[in-house]
């Protein structure tokens, strides 16, 4: 069973049979269900090709009963969003004594919560854009005065850029907040950073080559991530090796201070002055044909099937 004390240790498994029976937990009930199903199918296919005894499970409200009936040795968690990336399924698996991939309950819960993520990063002295929690009582004039324009509005507990809006003027703030609160009672306004967006994949405390993202969209939104063919991914990212190494270490520090472990991704912006600004951490990133983790792994010489195997190894702590 996964224990917090050794989650960041590196484990190597040589035989598929050593994993035992593996439940691939996918789908779920979140707004990211469709992406999770695609990620799950890709992961399941890789495990089959590697000879692992894997079973697909489309997670619903009966998941506790499903997992209790069948004795699985471990679970590959590939549920995106609420219920899968927020510590909930991790707590279920802990209760049942089933080992699982990725972060534990606390790390998953903190990374899913953008507001707490930023509070922890700020408290740890790590750079993250200035922000304000929005409520019905918020003075939007004061918000605008503090953050300036543009501002980006985000639901605190959603992924894949769902419910996010860029706000360029005061009249857009209210509608953007209303849009975000359709997905979450907790909404944050964050200072817009003008610059390039990067992502760092982390696997067993190793930072993979960084990817620079380029999209003609207003920002790297749901369409740019999963639908459009106009998004460009630069890997190598174009930075000098020394600067990339420093930023990879920043991402590792940001990941670890949140209690995240196993595998994940840290996203940040690099402004025009070369200052990095941490945006968010993901503990169950996408594994589709548009996803960033497989791209970074490929740049590091790790095939998709090898990547899935290595992620499964994170359940062995």
- For 51-84, the DSSP string reads T-EEEEEEE-TTHHHHHHHS--SEEEE---STTT
Residue of 86, 184, 221, 280 marked active site: 280
131-134 β-sheet, strand order = 131-134, 187-191, 151-155, 165-167
Strand partners, 199: 211, 267
Is residue 6 part of the annotated active site? The answer reads no
Is residue 72 part of the annotated active site? The answer reads no
Residue of 36, 226, 291, 313 marked active site: 226
Residue 167 contacts residue 36 (beta carbons within 8 Å): no
Is residue 183 part of the annotated active site? The answer reads no
Q: CB-hemisphere CA count at 13 Å for 213?
A: 24
Helices (H) and strands (E) in the chain, counts: 11, 14
Residue of 282, 313, 315, 317 marked active site: 282
Q: What angle do CA 232, 251, 90 make, to 5 degrees?
A: 100
Is residue 286 part of the annotated active site? The answer reads yes
Q: For residues 211 and 42, give the distance between their C-alpha atoms in angstroms, rounded to a whole number.
A: 21
Is residue 265 part of the annotated active site? The answer reads yes
- For 167-179, the DSSP string reads E-SGGGHHHHHHH
> Using H for helix, E for strand and C for coil, what is the string for 91-107?
HHHHHHCCEECCCCHHH
Residue of 113, 262, 265, 291 marked active site: 265
Is residue 32 part of the annotated active site? The answer reads yes
What is the maximal distance between C-alpha atoms in the chain?
A: 61
Residue of 2, 7, 32, 261 marked active site: 32
Residue of 2, 39, 103, 160 marked active site: 160
Residue of 81, 267, 291, 313 marked active site: 267
CB atoms inside a 10 Å sphere around CB 6:
11
Is residue 172 part of the annotated active site? The answer reads no
Q: What angle do CA 85, 91, 93 make, to 5 degrees?
A: 100
Residue of 81, 107, 286, 317 marked active site: 286
Is residue 131 part of the annotated active site? The answer reads no
Residues carrying an active site annotation: 32, 160, 226, 265, 267, 280, 282, 286
């Amino acid at each position: 069973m996964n224990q917090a004390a050794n989650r960041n240790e590196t484990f190597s498994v040589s035989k598929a049979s050593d994993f035992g029976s593996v439940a691939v937990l996918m789908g779920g009930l979140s707004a990211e269900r469709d992406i999770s199903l695609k990620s799950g199918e890709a992961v399941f296919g890789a495990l089959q090709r590697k000879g692992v005894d894997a079973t697909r499970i489309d997670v619903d409200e009966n998941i506790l009963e499903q997992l209790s009936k069948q004795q699985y040795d471990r679970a590959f968690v590939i549920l995106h969003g609420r219920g899968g990336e927020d510590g909930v399924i991790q707590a279920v698996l802990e209760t049942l004594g089933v080992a699982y991939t990725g972060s534990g309950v606390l790390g998953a819960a903190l990374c899913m919560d953008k507001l707490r993520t930023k509070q922890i990063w700020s408290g740890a002295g790590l750079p993250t854009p200035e922000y304000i929690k929005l409520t019905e009582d918020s003075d939007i004039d004061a918000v605008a005065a503090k953050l300036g324009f543009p501002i980006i509005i985000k639901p605190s507990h959603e992924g894949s850029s769902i419910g996010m809006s860029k706000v360029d003027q005061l009249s857009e703030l209210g509608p953007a907040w209303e849009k975000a609160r359709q997905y979450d009672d907790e909404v944050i306004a964050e200072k817009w950073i003008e610059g390039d967006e990067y992502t760092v994949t982390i696997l067993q405390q190793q930072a993979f080559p960084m990817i620079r993202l380029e999209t003609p969209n207003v920002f790297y939104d749901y369409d740019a991530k999963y639908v459009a063919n106009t998004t460009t991914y630069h890997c190598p990212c174009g930075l000098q090796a020394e600067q990339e190494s420093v930023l990879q270490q920043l991402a590792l520090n940001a990941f670890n201070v949140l209690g995240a472990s196993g595998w994940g991704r840290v996203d940040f912006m690099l402004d025009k002055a070369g200052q990095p600004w941490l945006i968010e951490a993901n503990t169950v990133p996408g594994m589709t044909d548009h996803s960033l983790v497989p791209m970074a792994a490929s740049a590091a010489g790790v095939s998709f099937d090898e990547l899935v195997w290595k992620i499964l190894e994170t359940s062995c702590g």
